[in-house]
Amino acid sequence: MVIRAILALVVTAMLTGCGSQIEQKMLVMPLGADPSYLNPILYTDQPSAEVAGFIFSGLFRVNERLELEPDLCQSYTVHDAGKRYVFHLRQDVRWHDGEPFTAEDVAFTFERIMDPTTNTVRRSGYIINGKPITWHVVDRYTIEARLPESLGPFLFRAAIGILPKHKLADQAINTAAFNRQPIGTGPFKFHDWKSGQFVRLIRSDLYYDGPPQLPGILFKVIPDAQTAMLALKRQDVHMNGVLPKDYHRYETLDYLQMARWYGLNYTYLGLNLKKAPFSDIRFRQALAHAVDQQKIVDTVLQGFGRPAYYPSSPVSWAYPPDDQPLYAYDPARSHAYLQAMGYRRNAAGRYEKNGKPVSLVLATNQGNKYREKTAALIQQYLAEIGLDVRIQLMEWSALLKLTKDTSEATGFDMIVLGWNIGVDPDASSIWHSREYPQGFNFVGYSNPSVDAGLDAARQYTHRADRQPVYHRLFTQIAQDVPYLFLYHTETVMGVNRRVQGLSMPGPAGLMVRPESVYLTP
Amino acid sequence: MMGSISKRLLTMIPMILGITAVSFVLMQLAPGDPLAMMVDPSIHESDLAQVRENLGLNQPVWIQYWRWLLAVLQGDFGYSFVTGQPVLTVILDRLPATLLLSGSTMVLIVGITFPLGIWAGYKANTAVDHWITVLTFIGMSIPAFWLALVLLLMLSVQLEWFPLSGFQNYAVFEPTVWQQCASIVHHMVLPLVTSVLGGLAGLTRYHRSGVVGILNRMYITAARSRGVGPSRLLFKHVAKNAALPIITLLGLMIPGLIGGSFVIEYIFAWPGMGQLGVSSVFARDYPVLMAILVFSSLLIMLGTLVSDIAYQWADPRVGRTSV
C-alpha cells in the first residue's frame, strides 16, 4: 500500500516535473553555497555577492572594461582637489516597493557603514588617516561627500549597493529580517529564499531603465562542484564554471559555449622576509630563477592560465607594459647566487652552510588541489638545484594562523597562496610596511620608496596620474622578490547557448547588464 | 521505576553543563575565529577587530561561556555569526529535510534488515546466508560519494528518471501540497537509496546472530519437538524475541536522525543538518555549533533513556535486575 502510494507520487512528480512557462524562460544559475546576508554592507561571501548584484544598485557600476559608469548617480563634479564630490542622482528611481529613491537613502547607507555597531568589514574603506568621509544631503536628489584627503579608489568605494532608509531606519541591521528579504533598486526584485535550496528573483517592472528581458532568475544551491557540472550537462543550470580537467568533455557539447577570461587574481609563493635565508635577496633570486612558471601553468592548470610576473593582473590598467619575467627560469643563475652567499654542495648534491644542509618548509592549504600540485612542483624544482623542501598541508585557519606567526623559530618559510585583487589597483594592504605584522603584508615586505609610492598613488584621483606610479611600483616589488609570482588562472564558464545578450567575457562577469540578458526558446 | 527515571533526568543536568563547557572551550581552542577566515585585501584588520568586539569575541572564554549559558537558560540561543538569523530558525530551517531523509532511511533499513537477518540466521551457513552477507557487505564497502555519483550519472543524467539535486522542483512558484509532496519524494529517491545501501550490512549481521542464538535455545528445541512447523516457529517464536533488541537500536539511532550525512547531503544538495553542521564548523559559527551540540547531546541521553524504559516495558526480566 505504502509502496504503491510512493510510486504514484513519483510518477506524478515525473509528469509534473517538467515545470511551467516561467521556468522555461527563467535563467537558472548555480550557487556554491547558501548566501549569508542579502545586504551589500554586510556580506563577505561570493554567493551573496552574486545574488545581491541583481537586486541592489549603487551610485556607479563597473562595465566590461572595468571602468565605472553612472548607475543611481546621473553625474558628479569634483571640487577642492578631490576632497569634495557632488553627486547628482537620478530622479526616476524607485525602490521595489514603490517608494522613491532619494539622497537620504545614500546618506543612510554610508551612515550605517560608519556606525561601529554594524557588523560590517567595509568601514575602513571610508576612513582616511583616521578621519571618516562624511556625506551631506544637499537636496532630495543631490548629495555631497567630503573627504579628509583625496582618495584614488574613492569612487569604487562609493559604488557599494545602496540600502532603503525607509525599510531599515528603525531596524537592528545585523539581525534584521531585511537581510533575507531585501528591497533594492536593481533590475530584479527579491521573491523568496529557502535556506540551502534556492533564491528566486523576478524582474522589477519599476527598474529605471525599463523592465529586464528575463522574467526571473532562479539560483539553485549546489554545493558539490561535480554535481554542478552534471547540472550544466543536464541543462538544469544555464552556466557554471568549468575546470581544466572537464574542459574537453564539455567543449564538445553542442548546446554549450565556453567563455574564457583572466580574472583579477594571482597565485604566489610568499617568502618570509623576516627570516634567514629569505632575508637575503640573493637567496630569493636563486629561488626565482629555479622555478619554471610556464611548466606549472601547463601541468597544474593544464594550460588554463599564464605565468605571473607582477603583483597585478594582465587585465588591470595598472599592469606594467613590460610583460616579461624579471627572473626567467635559469637554474645556472640560482647556483651562482647560492654559491655567492657561501653555500656549498655536499656529497649528496645538496646545498649546505657550515655543515648544515638547507632545509625549507613549504606550507599551503589542504584541499586546494591546484595549490597542492603547485607546491609539489616547486618542491621538485628546488630539489633539482639542491635545496631540500618539505611540504606541509594545513587546514585553512591553521594556515592563516601560521601567516601571523612572526617568531623566527616557528614562523613559516614559504607559503603558496593567492590574492583576489580589486578593480582598483591600490595594493597598500598587501605591500605597505605598516601592514606588518598586523595586516596582509605577512611576509614582512618593507621598501620605503614603495611605501611612499603607494601613499602617493592612493591620493591621485586621475587614472593618468596613477598609472605610471603603479607600473613603477609593481616592477619595483617584482624586482625585490618578496613573493615568487606564479600564475594567473583563467576563468572558464560553460554557458548554455540559449542564453543571449551577455556582455564581453571579463572579470566583471558575463552579465554586466543583466537587464539585457534573455533566453531563446 | 518513576524514581529511577527522575534520578536519571537529574543527572543529565550536570552532564549537559559539562559537555557544553568543554565543547565551548575546545571550539575556541581551534585556530581561527569567525572573522579570521576573511582574507581579502580590501578588508582591514581594524574592521575585523570592531566586529569581533561587537560579537563579544574579544572577551575571555569563560565570560563568553557564562553569557552564552545565561542566555540559553532563558531560551535564547543567540544569532548565527554567518547569517544574523536566530539560531533556532537556522536549525529549524534545516531539520525537516534531514528528519525526512534519515527517518525514511531508518524505517527502510530496519524493514529490510530484519527479515533479511532472520532469513540469513535461519539458513545460517548455507548459500543463501553467504549471498546475503556478501551483498550487504558490498553495499557497506562502496563509498557513498562514489555510489551517489554513479546513481546520478546513470539514473539522472543518462536515463533522466530522477532529478539531479535539491529538495524539490524550485522552478514551480506555487506548488499545490500534492505537487510538493510528489516532488520531494521524487528528489529523495537517490539520496535515500545511497544511504540505505550503505547501512544494510551492520543490522543484517546483528539480526542474523540474534536469530542464530535464539535457534539454539531450549524453548526452540522444545517447540520443534512439539511439532511446531517451520513458519510458525520462525514468525511466532523466533521473530518476536529477535525483535526485542531493535528497541534498543532505535533508541540509539534517534540522535543520528538529526545529524544527517554530510557526504550525501553535499552531493545531492539536500538542504539538511549535515551540511549545516560542517559549514558551521568551517565558518566557526559558534552559536549554531553550540545549539546543535546541546540538542544532539540531549537527544543521545533521552534516546538511551527511552530505549531503556521501553526495553523494561517489553521485557520485564530487565527491570528486576537493574536500571
Please answer yes or no on whether A236 and B164 come within 8 Å at the CB atom: yes
Q: Express each pLDDT in A393-421 by its tens digit.
A: 998 888 988 998 888 888 999 999 999 99
Please answer yes or no on whether A179 and B83 come within 8 Å at the CB atom: yes
List the single residue in A with minimal CA-CA distance to B174. Answer: A20
Q: Which three cell numbers stand for residue A278?
A: 629569505
Average confidence score pLDDT of chain B: 87
DSSP assignment of A407-464 equals -TTTS-SEEEEEEEPPSS---HHHH-GGGSSSSS-TT----HHHHHHHHHHHH--SHH
Residue A19 has pLDDT above 60, yes or no: no
Task: Select the residue from A31, A124, A189, A426 to test the B interface by mutation, using most B Cβ atoms within 10 A.
Answer: A124
Angle separating helix axes B286-314 and B61-73, nearest 10 degrees = 50
A59/A157 Cα distance (integer angstroms)? 10
User: pLDDT value at position A16?
Assistant: 47
Q: Express each pLDDT in B261-316 by its tens digit.
A: 889 999 999 999 999 999 998 889 999 999 998 988 888 888 888 878 877 777 77
CA distance A193 to chain B (A): 10
CA distance A496 to chain B (A): 16
CA distance B125 to chain A (A): 32
Element (H, E) at A269: strand A265-271
List the single residue in B with minimal CA-CA distance to A191. Answer: B173
pLDDT (average), residues A297-309: 95
pLDDT (average), residues B133-162: 90
Q: Mention every residue, 6+ apart, whose C-beta is less than 8 A from residue A430.
A: A311, A419, A440, A441, B41
CA distance A349 to chain B (A): 39
Chain B residues with CB-CB distance to A124 below 8 A: 43-44, 46-47
Task: Select the residue from A397, A399, A412, A458 to test the B interface by mutation, using most B Cβ atoms within 10 A.
Answer: A397
Find the Cα–Cα–Cα–Cα dihedral A68, A73, A76, A80, rounded to 10°: -90
Residue B168 has pLDDT above 60, yes or no: yes
What long-range pairs does B274-282 form, CB within 8 A, spacing at least 24?
Answer: B274/B98, B275/A196, B275/A223, B275/B94, B276/A196, B276/B90, B276/B91, B276/B94, B279/A33, B279/B82, B280/B82, B282/A396, B282/B37
Chain A residues with CB-CB distance to B280 below 8 A: none
Q: Is A422 on the interface with B (CB under 8 A)?
A: yes
Q: Express each pLDDT in A457-494 by its tens digit.
A: 999 988 999 999 999 999 999 999 999 999 999 999 99
pLDDT band at B206 (very low <50, low <70, confident <90, very high): confident
pTM given for the model: 0.89
Q: Which residue has the higher pLDDT, B318 or A108?
A: A108
Half-sphere exposure of B181 (CA within 13 A, CB side): 8
What's the first-to-final CA gap in chain A, in angstroms?
Answer: 42
User: pLDDT value at position A7?
Assistant: 55
Chain A residues with CB-CB distance to B55 below 8 A: 119
- Give the nearest partner residue to B269 out of A176, A227, A398, using CB atoms: A227
Q: Counting every residue, how long is chain A?
A: 521
Residue B174 has pLDDT above 50, yes or no: yes
List the single residue in A with minimal CA-CA distance to B148. Answer: A227
Which residue bears the cell 552531493?
B267
Chain B residues with CB-CB distance to A419 below 8 A: 41
Residue A276 has pLDDT above 90, yes or no: no
pLDDT (average), residues A213-232: 95
Question: Count of CB contacts below 8 A, A vs B?
Answer: 199
CA distance B223 to chain A (A): 34
Please answer yes or no on whether A26 and B171 come within 8 Å at the CB atom: yes
User: pLDDT value at position A3?
Assistant: 56
- Are B278 and B262 contacting, i.e. CB atoms less than 8 angstroms apart? yes
Residue B241 has pLDDT above 90, yes or no: no
What's the first-to-final CA gap in chain B, in angstroms?
Answer: 9
Report the SS3 class of residue A106.
helix
User: pLDDT value at position B305?
Assistant: 83
Please answer yes or no on whether A400 and B31 come within 8 Å at the CB atom: yes
Which residue bears the cell 557540472?
A229
User: pLDDT value at position A23?
Assistant: 58
User: pLDDT value at position B2?
Assistant: 67
Q: Is A230 on the interface with B (CB under 8 A)?
A: yes
Report the relative pairing of strands A499-500 and A359-365 from DSSP bridges.
Answer: unpaired
Task: Please name which of A374, A355, A357 lies closest in space to residue A365, comparing C-alpha atoms.
Answer: A374
Q: Is A199 on the interface with B (CB under 8 A)?
A: no
B112/B115 Cα distance (integer angstroms)? 6
Q: Is A7 on the interface with B (CB under 8 A)?
A: no
pLDDT band at A20 (very low <50, low <70, confident <90, very high): very low
- Is this prediction's ipTM beyond 0.90? no
Please answer yes or no on whether B47 and A420 come within 8 Å at the CB atom: no
User: pLDDT value at position A21?
Assistant: 45
pLDDT band at A422 (very low <50, low <70, confident <90, very high): confident
User: pLDDT value at position B243?
Assistant: 80
Say which range, A191-205, A206-220, B296-310, has the weakest mean pLDDT.
Answer: B296-310
Say which range, A42-51, A302-311, B11-20, B180-189, has the weakest mean pLDDT.
Answer: B11-20
Chain B residues with CB-CB distance to A268 below 8 A: none
Q: Express each pLDDT in A227-237 by its tens digit.
A: 999 999 999 99
User: pLDDT value at position B245?
Assistant: 78
Residue B175 has pLDDT above 60, yes or no: yes
A214/A29 Cα distance (integer angstroms)? 13
Residue B151 has pLDDT above 60, yes or no: yes
Q: To the nearest whole percent, how much of chain B has pLDDT over 90?
A: 37
pLDDT (average), residues B117-128: 87
pLDDT band at A163 (very low <50, low <70, confident <90, very high): very high
User: pLDDT value at position B312?
Assistant: 76
User: pLDDT value at position A217?
Assistant: 96
User: pLDDT value at position B152?
Assistant: 94
Residue A455 has pLDDT above 70, yes or no: yes
Q: Is A342 left (phi over 0), alpha (psi -120 to 50) or beta?
A: left
Q: Which three cell numbers stand for residue A65?
A: 572594461
Element (H, E) at A37: none
Chain B residues with CB-CB distance to A191 below 8 A: 173
A193/A180 Cα distance (integer angstroms)? 7
pLDDT band at B125 (very low <50, low <70, confident <90, very high): confident
CA distance B30 to chain A (A): 8
Residue A22 has pLDDT above 90, yes or no: no
Report the SS3 class of residue A298.
helix
List the single residue in B with minimal CA-CA distance to A394. Answer: B31
Please answer yes or no on whether A397 and B54 come within 8 Å at the CB atom: no
Chain A residues with CB-CB distance to B268 below 8 A: 227
B287/B88 Cα distance (integer angstroms)? 10
Please answer yes or no on whether A37 and B185 come within 8 Å at the CB atom: no
Average confidence score pLDDT of chain A: 92
Q: Mention every residue, 6+ apart, whose C-beta is less than 8 A from residue B314.
A: B244, B247
Q: A residues 95-124 near B, CB within 8 Å? A: 116-117, 119-124
Please answer yes or no on whether B157 and A234 come within 8 Å at the CB atom: yes
Chain A residues with CB-CB distance to B153 below 8 A: 230
Q: Mention every residue, 6+ apart, whose C-beta is less than 8 A from residue B84.
A: A36, A37, A42, A119, A174, A175, A176, A179
- Are A186 and B91 contacting, i.e. CB atoms less than 8 angstroms apart? no
User: pLDDT value at position B82?
Assistant: 92
